Structure 1
């Protein structure tokens, strides 16, 4: 039967998460904790459901706040059963808000269940990776440009807007949120300027647990395109990450419509490693 998750279900959920981790094609958006105590605390922030069978918890799905709406965690089921029923139960708690879901492109069972529950695929995001050692060798600041690691929030926002970026939530950050983000030890901002004006930047986040540095965003001002600044920033980001001995790989991402970014990644030697599909169920709130 489907019921609300209880604290005693945490070991069974942990087993499901570890099962998911064993194969990339099983990936869904899910709790990040892999320790029983931390996992129990993380699940308290979600409305969580399980399918309880004869042998204990066999499937899991939850819903929690996300951006302008809600996000589904899961569904997870080793047998592939009860996915749609769990999804529908979780979506009932969306309260008219948009509902998002994320899963591996090859996770066909979950994708079928998401669509059966009324969610629609929006786009795919592909991830590309390469060893830092090779990428860092090409690091050089282009002639006529300077490299800085800080940017006033007004200049940051202006470059975001000029680059036609869709990551609108960044534009809503307060100065305090902006300063706090770039004060983090695991975050880097690399900016190329020309004549003192920002031309392009890359944001880098270090993930020591996975020995990986992620370029979370790359922006080039339209007036500066064609100067190979994107390529330069990828090499510079790799060199920056390589200063940390625990880092081994650089990873980037691109949505399926970002053809120029995909071509750039191929040219610098980044290989495809992962694909995630974003799903959405439109909200029904009255204006």
Structure 2
């Protein structure tokens, strides 16, 4: 089952982080880094490892960029949870970093994890200099003001806007906030192989949007104990979401259509892409 594969990937990534952090000093900022990179779905890391397998890349080479994207993702969550952002007290069913430690430590944990992501993507073990440079450059673009940070900024602006976002505006916002890192993760295998990234880009763009729609659905239908974080906040804040604009059934239908689009984009890989198709189906069937 796909969930079993995801769990195996999680264990592999956790072992990698455990070995890495074993060489770090036992200070609060490092404790926070360990804490923030522990658990989660590991979907982004899985996409790196699976697309690397699809291109015949040694898993040991692919592990570094897989850890890199998980580190960048963890940093984004630590900062997103801060009082100046979403002000969340719960993440993955546990206290958020600023709650467990303090805001200053959480800020530094996020900063350190961001730097670590670029370090891991450029490790000598990853491959030739051209590949490492390409991974680091594309990760910077996906993470910054052309990608995730842009999406976060648009999200903050939307909270203060007097007119709710339109469907096209929400789509653009989420393509940055959620989609950019998912696209990078899916393209990583092709980048490692210096191959064409377009099919995986098309796959991941549809996948990332389906992922966010599923998040919006869970914010309405889920419960905090299962989801692992607060739910219902979007409705309380009056934020426009895929659910508020399309309705619950309409949003679920759109997510299903996007998964079909994602799977169609993989046709060039034949049967070798079945695991990636299962990943797409998982995105809209998950409960957390």
Rg: which structure is higher? 1
* Larger helix percent: 2
Q: Shorter-chain-normalised TM-score: which range?
A: under 0.3
**Normalized against structure 1, the TM-score is what?**
0.25
Q: Which has the higher contact order (CA 8 A, sep 6+)?
A: 1
**Normalized against structure 2, the TM-score is what?**
0.25
